[in-house]
Amino acid sequence: MDWNCAEIEERLSDSLEGRLTPEEAQAFSAHVAGCANCQELAANVRELVRGMERLEMVPEPAGLTRRILDATLGPREHVSAWERWTRWTQAIWQPRLAMGAVTLGAMALIVFQMSGLKFSRLRHADLNPVTIVNAADRQVHMVYARSARFVNDLRVVYEIESRLQPQPEAAPEMQLPSPPQQQPQSPGTNPQQKSENDKRHDRSQLRTAALVAMLSPAAGLAGGWTRSSR
Amino acid sequence: MDPDAQLVQQCLRGEGPAWEELVKRHTRRVFNLCYRFTGNSAESEDLSQEVFLRIYRTLPSYRPAEGTFPTWLSSVTRNLLVDHYRRTKRDRQTDSIEDAMPKLEEKHSAARTPDRLALASELSGQLQTALGRLSPELREAVILRDLQQLEYGEIRTVLQVPEGTVKSRINRGRIELARVLKEMGVRPH
């Protein structure tokens, strides 16, 4: 068969993509071999198609994907890691719960203080409830003893002690020997002449009296004391 | 199941990241189809967004049996391009009248000016110019076949014309393109 230029044009892509029958292919080649125009056209189209095949896609403008997602999904928050972490705690961070949180914190502090746990050297045995209770018990007694000593050493207690010197002893005498050097003293005289035991004895009485005086002003004891001064 | 169909299934099940993945995979392809057809980057961005919006809203209607996801994507894109072309065609026809009158910058007039991206290769740029000189029917056929690499059967689905018409348009489009490039003084390489 003989093909003309029109037919060559018509079947050009079929030729390029291998869709011609053997007879058609032969007719195609035969014409192209003898026609400069068709030869040039065939060559140009072949090069063009190969060139387009090799072309990379044009990169889309920056942010297009994000804009598309915003348009379809709606504006989304870009949650940073920090925000994600605090989000779950936001239910707890409320002003009305602040007092409770502070109370809890203070309680925890006190418990830890009392239990005598050292965080730097925390051992598994330290977390035994019995250990904690014993440690807390020990701490309580120490704190009591310290506060008693503190109160004893207060100036006001010392003053009370001095003024109460002339008063008859209401508490039972201590068994330990003590030199009878209980003289009526006015405030300011040297109380060092008393024995240590006496002083301790007096002090325990005075401590009790001072604590009672400080804790029950309404009972009038403090008033009674002031009335009897000087 | 091919990965796209799988992602569509996940989207329909409400799995958030699946849609993001689908969009990321196909943004470039959709943008390229729009850009090669319109020659305008800004318009192509808007059109791409419209394409994905439409896909998102009609996702339940996708039927894998009727074609691959890229085919469906190309169909939706092509239809939007046709609508867009018809809309802007009216504007193009009134050019000569409007040019005579001073006017404020309008969205349409700005969009009409071809917006050439800085294209990577010389051929890419020259090709874009040459494509602009083809009729829409030939232009879309060549883009779908030689730039989007769709099969003839898929192009038939997208264009909704018989396969013979598809082949004919591709063939004529290529020849016309080669002639335009030759006129521009471009040697194919």
Residue-wise pLDDT tens digits, B157-188: 999 999 999 999 999 999 999 999 999 987 65
Specify if A45 maps to a domain. Answer: yes
The per-residue pLDDT for B108 is: 40
User: How far, in Å, CA of B24 to CA of B18, rounded?
Assistant: 10
Phi, psi of B115 (to 5 degrees): -110, 100
Judge if A65 and A119 occupy the same domain.
no
- The per-residue pLDDT for A158 is 81
- State whether A12 and B175 contact (CB < 8 Å): yes
Task: From A152, A186, A220, give the residue that closes a domain.
Answer: A152
Residues 6+ apart with CB under 8 A from A32: A8, A38, A39, A42
Please report whether residue A145 resides in a domain: yes
Nearest C-alpha in A relative to B16:
A73
Any B CB within 8 A of A20 CB? no
Greatest alpha-carbon span in chain B: 58
Helices B122-131 and B163-183, axial angle in degrees (round to 10): 120
Structure confidence by residue, pLDDT tens digits, A11-66: 999 999 999 999 999 999 999 999 999 999 999 999 999 999 999 999 999 999 99
Tens-digit pLDDT profile for residues B51-100: 999 999 999 999 888 889 999 999 999 999 999 999 988 776 655 554 44
Asked if B103 has any chain A CB less than 8 Å from its own CB, the reply is no
| pLDDT for A128 | 78
A148 assigned to some structural domain: yes
Question: Residue ranges per domain, chain B?
Answer: 1-116, 118-184
User: Phi and psi at residue A123, in whole multiples of 5°?
Assistant: -115, 165
Amino acid at B159: L
Nearest residue on chain A to B56, alpha-carbon basis: A72
Q: What confidence score (pLDDT) does residue B118 get? A: 62
Angle at A104 between CA A99 and CA A108, to 5 degrees: 150
Smallest CA-to-CA distance from A203 within A175, A173, A172, A162 is with: A162
Q: Among A124, A144, A126, which residue's Cα sits nearest to residue A135?
A: A126
Mean local confidence (pLDDT), A182-202: 57
Verify that A141 and A116 share a domain, yes or no.
Answer: yes
Q: Which of A51, A75, A99 is the last residue of a domain?
A: A75
Integer angstrom CA distances of residue B11 from A69, B59, B67, B71: 13, 8, 18, 18
The fraction of chain B above a pLDDT of 70, given in percent, is 83
Residue B123 has pLDDT above 70, yes or no: yes
Q: Are B93 and A25 in contact (CB under 8 A)?
A: no
Residue of A nearest to B35 (CA): A58
Give the ipTM of the model, two decimals please.
0.84
Query: Residue B107 pLDDT > 50, yes or no?
Result: no
Residue B118 in 3-state DSSP? coil
Terminal Cα-to-Cα distance of chain A (whole angstroms)? 149
- Would you state the pLDDT for residue B122? 82
**Scanning every residue of chain B, which has its alpha carbon at the shortest distance from the alpha carbon of A6?**
B172
Instruction: Please say whether the structural domain B1-116 has been given the CATH code 1.10.1740.10.
Output: yes
Q: Report yes or no: B189 at the A interface, CB cutoff 8 Å.
A: yes
Instruction: Find all residues with CB under 8 Å of A210, minimum gap 6, and list them.
Output: A151, A154, A156, A157, A160
Cβ within 8 Å of A, B 159-188: 167, 170-171, 174-175, 177-178, 181-182, 188
Does A196 touch chain B if contact means CB atoms closer than 8 Å? no
CA–CA gap between residue B31 and residue B165 (Å, rounded): 26
CB B18 within 8 A of CB B7: yes
Does some domain include residue A50?
yes
- For A196, half-sphere exposure in the C-beta direction (CA atoms, 13 angstrom radius) is 0
Identical topology for domains B1-116 and B118-184: no
Nearest to B24 among A56, A65, A71 (CB): A65
What is the interface size between A and B, counted as CB pairs within 8 Å?
Answer: 98
Using pLDDT thresholds of 50, 70 and 90, give the confidence band for residue B103: very low
Search chain A and give the residue with CA nearest B168: A10
Is residue A2 in some structural domain? yes
User: Cβ A57–B178 below 8 Å, yes or no?
Assistant: no
Domain B118-184 matching CATH 3.40.1010.10: the answer reads: no
Q: Which domain holds residue A69?
A: 1-75
The DSSP secondary structure of chain A, one letter per residue, reads ----HHHHHHHHHHHHTT-S-HHHHHHHHHHHHH-HHHHHHHHHHHHHHHHHHHPPPPPPPTTHHHHHHHHHH-------HHHHHHHTTTTT--GGGHHHHHHHHHHHHHHHHHHT--GGG--GGGG-HHHHHHHHHHHHHHHHHHHHHHHHHSHHHHHHHHHHTTSPP-SPPPSS----------TTS-GGGS-HHHHHHHHHHHHHHHHHHHH-GGGTHHHHHHHH--
Could you tell me if B83 lies within 8 Å of chain A, comparing CB atoms?
no
Q: Are residues A53 and A5 in the same domain?
A: yes
Contacts of A44 in chain B (CB under 8 A): 178, 181-182, 188
More confident residue, A150 or B174: B174
Q: Please provide the average confidence, as pLDDT, over all residues in chain A.
A: 77
Contact status, residue B32 vs residue B148, Cβ threshold 8 Å: yes
* More confident site: A160 or A93: A160
Mean pLDDT of chain B: 86
| pLDDT (0 to 100) of residue A154 | 85
Whole-number pLDDT of residue A96: 79
Short-list B43, B37, B30, B26, CA closest to B140: B37
Residue the block writes with tokens 């569509």:
B8
Provide the domain count of chain A: 3
Task: Check whether residue A13 and residue A66 sit in a common domain.
Answer: yes
**What's the pLDDT tens digit per position in A97-136?**
888 888 999 998 887 777 766 666 666 766 778 887 888 7
Distance CA A228, CA B14 (A): 89
CB contact under 8 A, B27 and A61: no
Contact A64 B177 (CB under 8 A): no
The partner residue sitting opposite A59, judged by closest CB among B28, B45, B49, is B28
Boundary (domain end) residue, out of A33, A56, A75: A75
Across the range A189-193, mean pLDDT stands at 51
CB contact under 8 A, B35 and A53: no
How close are the terminal C-alpha atoms of chain B, in Å? 39
pLDDT at A19: 95
Which chain A residue has the Cα nearest residue B53?
A72
User: Is there a domain that residue A207 lies in?
Assistant: yes
Residue to test with chain B: of A38, A56, A60, A77, most B Cβ within 10 A: A60
Q: Which of B81, B49, B46 is nearest to A69 (CA)?
A: B49
A49 and B189 within 8 Å at the Cβ level: the answer is: no
